[in-house]
Amino acid sequence: MKIHVQRWTREPAVATGLLLLVFLTINAVAVWGIVAGRSNARQAAQNELELRTRADARALEAILASLRADFLFLSQSPPLAFFLESRRHDDPMVRRWSRLDVEGTFLLFLEARPALERLVLRDAGGEVLVVAGRRQGVPEILPAELSLPPAAHELFHGCFPLAATGGEIRVRLDPRKLLALAAPGSEERLRVERDGSAAAPPASGELVARTTVADAHWDPPIAWRLVRREEEGELLRSLESLAQRYRTTVVLNLAVMTLTLVLGALAFRHARRAARLEAENAQEKRVRELERQLMHSERLASVGRLAAGLAHEINNPLEGMSNYLSLLADDLDGGRQAQARKLVDRVREGLDRTAGVTRQVLTFSGPGKAPKSAVDLAVVLRDAAGFVRSSRDCRRMDIACETDGALAVRGNPITLGQLFLNLVLNACQAQPEGGEVRIRAAAGAGAAVVTVADRGTGLSADALAHLFEPFFSTRGSTGLGLAVCHGIVTDHGGEIAGRNRPGGGAEFEVRLPLADEPLESPPPERNG
C-alpha cells in the first residue's frame, strides 16, 4: 500500500512538473518569438524606409530633370535671345519694351514653378541685368543688389548659358518646396545634404535611410544625398500591438495552466499565423504602393528626358536655318537675287525638316503612319550633306558624299532626311577638332547600302551594347538621336548597324529596300 501511495503521489507530481515544464517551454518560445519578431520587424521597417527614400529620390531627380529642361527652354527663348542686342538699340522705347518682355517672362516662369526661388540674368561681362524673386511667396522684380553671387556653388544653385549671346541665367531653388513636390506630406522628415559629407548618426529610437540624388547635366552637377529620418516607435506600432497580444496569452496560460494548455498552444499558433499573415499583407500592400510611386517617378523622368531630347532634335535644323537666313540677308543686300532664291529653298527645307521632327515623335511610338513614295536616296544624301555643311559644328569638317547614280527607295523624304542628318551630325560631333566624314551609297542585293564614316574616337564596348537604346549617351546628350534613327529605319523595313572603323573612327551602315516602282521624275542636279 505504501508503494502504491508513493507511486500515486509521485506520478501526479511528475505529470505536473512535466506540464509545467512544457508550459514554461512554450511560453519561453513565445517570448523568444517576440524578441526575434521585433528584430525582424525593425529590419523590415528599415528596408521599407530605404525603399520609400529611393522612390522620393527618383521623384526628386524627375523634378530636377523637368526643371532643367524648362531652364534650357527659357535660356533659348526669343525674349532673352534678343534682349542683349536690344540693350544697344538707339531707340529707348525698344530697350524699354525688351526689358519689360524679359521681366514678364521671368515673372510668369516663377509663377508656374513654386520650387524656383530666384532668377538672375547676367550679360557676358557678369553685369546683373534682371533679378526676379519672391516676397512673401509673390513673384516680383527685385533690385540688382539681391542677385545671386557670381561664383555660387551651394546645393540649390544652377547656371544656364544663353544661346549665342554669352550671357547666363543663374537660378536658386527652394529646398522645402522642392521636397514638397517630390514627397508631399513627408518634406518635414526629409533633408538634402551634399554627397560625401559627414553623415550624422541616428538618434536613439530613430531609423535613418540615405540615398543619392544625381544629375550631371546641371551646372554645377548635382550630387546630393537624400536623408529620411523616422521615429522607430511609429514604424513598429503594429509589432507592439502584436507583442501585447502575446503577453495576454501568457497571463491567461498562467491562470488556467492545467485546463487550457492544449487550447492555449493551438490559440497561440493560430494567433501567430493570423498576425503574420496580417503583417505580410500590410507589407505587401505598402510595397505595391511604393513600386507604383517608383514607376510613376520613372515615367516622369522619361518625360523630362524626352522633352529635352525633342528640343535637341529641333535645334539642329533651326541652327541651319539661322545660318541660311544670315546668308540670305547678305545676298539681298548685295542684290544677288538668284542666290537668295536658292537660300529661300534651303530655309523651306529646314522648316519641313523641323515639322518632320515633330511628326517623328508620333512615328517613334506608332511607326508606319508616315506617307511613303519612291524617293531618290542620292538626292536625300546630297541635301543632308549640304545642310550640315552650314552647321557651326561641321564647318571644319571635310564632308564627302559619293553615290552610284540614282537610288530609288520607297520611303518618306522628310524622315529619311532626318535619319541621315542625325548620322552626319553625330559623325561631326565625334570630331570636335575637325576631321573627315565620308558618305557612301551604292545598290547591292536588292537594297540600297549607305555608310556614314568618321575618324573620331570610335565606339566603346558599352556604347556598342546599348547603341540604339533611348536615352543612352556617352557625350552627355539626351540619347534620342540614334533611337529615332533606328525607328525610322525600322519603319522603312531596313536595317541599321554601327561598328568601329579600321584605323580609328566609327561607321554606321543603313540598308533600305529598293523601290519596285520607278522615280516619278529624274532627280534634279544639286551640288553635294
**What confidence tens digit (pLDDT) does each residue in 228-237 have?**
888 776 656 6
Q: What is the mean pLDDT of residues 158-187?
A: 84
Sheet holding 447-454, edge to edge: 397-403, 435-444, 447-454, 506-513, 495-500
Contact 21, 240 (CB under 8 A): no
- Map residue 478 onto helix, strand or coil: coil
Start-to-end CA distance of the chain, whole Å, equals 126
Residue 13 has a pLDDT of: 53
User: What does the alpha-carbon distance between residue 311 and residue 328 come to, in Å, rounded to a whole number?
Assistant: 25
Res. 155: pLDDT tops 70: yes
Distances (CA, A) of 52 to 55, 237, 463: 5, 18, 32
Quick: pLDDT tens for 386-435. Answer: 888 877 667 778 888 888 888 888 888 888 888 898 898 888 888 888 88
Res. 15: pLDDT tops 80: no
DSSP assignment, residue 366?
S
Sheet holding 116-122, edge to edge: 138-142, 128-135, 116-122, 168-173, 157-161
Neighbours of 492 (CB within 10 A): 24
How far is CA 260 from its chain centroid? 62
How far is CA 479 from its chain centroid? 11
Res. 375: pLDDT tops 80: yes
Q: In this predicted structure, which of 12-21, 116-125, 208-217, 502-511 has the lowest mean pLDDT?
A: 12-21
Higher model confidence: residue 359 or residue 203? 203
- Which are the contacts of 240, defined by CB distance < 8 A and separation ≥ 6? 233
Work out whether the CA dihedral 145, 146, 147, 153 comes out positive or negative. Answer: positive
Quick: pLDDT tens for 478-521. Answer: 566 788 888 888 888 899 999 998 888 899 999 999 888 777 65
Beta bridge partners of 447: 444, 513
> SS3 for 384-443, per residue?
HHHHHHCCHHHCCEEEEEEECCCCEEEECHHHHHHHHHHHHHHHHHCCCCCEEEEEEEEE
Res. 70: pLDDT tops 80: yes
Domain ranges for the chain: 1-237, 363-513
Residue 30 has a pLDDT of: 65
DSSP assignment, residue 137?
T
Q: What is the mean pLDDT of residues 60-82?
A: 86
User: What does the alpha-carbon distance between residue 125 and residue 122 come to, in Å, rounded to a whole number?
Assistant: 8
Nearest-5° Cα angle at 387, 382 to 390? 130
Higher model confidence: residue 259 or residue 471? 259
Nearest to residue 376, comparing CAs of 411, 345, 344, 349?
A: 411
Res. 8: pLDDT tops 50: no
Q: In this predicted structure, which of 30-39, 350-359, 455-464, 486-495 has the lowest mean pLDDT?
A: 30-39
Q: What is the mean pLDDT of residues 64-78?
A: 87
> Residue 294: pLDDT band by 50, 70, 90 thresholds?
confident
Of the CA atoms within 13 Å of residue 69, those in its CB half-sphere come to 20
Give the torsion through C-alpha atoms of 49, 50, 55, 59, to 10 deg: 100
Residue 6 has a pLDDT of: 46
Residue 450 has a pLDDT of: 93
Residue 348 has a pLDDT of: 84
* 244 exposure class (CB count in 10 Å sphere: 0-12, 13-18, 19+): exposed
User: What does the alpha-carbon distance between residue 121 and residue 160 come to, in Å, rounded to a whole number?
Assistant: 10
Residue 5 has a pLDDT of: 43
How much of the chain, in percent, has pLDDT values that exceed 90? 6
As given in the structure block, the three cell numbers for residue 231 are: 521615429
Res. 16: pLDDT tops 70: no
Residue 2 has a pLDDT of: 43
As given in the structure block, the three cell numbers for residue 499 are: 561598328
Q: Domain 363-513: what homologous superfamily?
A: Histidine kinase-like ATPase, C-terminal domain (3.30.565.10)
Res. 239: pLDDT tops 70: no
Res. 528: pLDDT tops 50: no
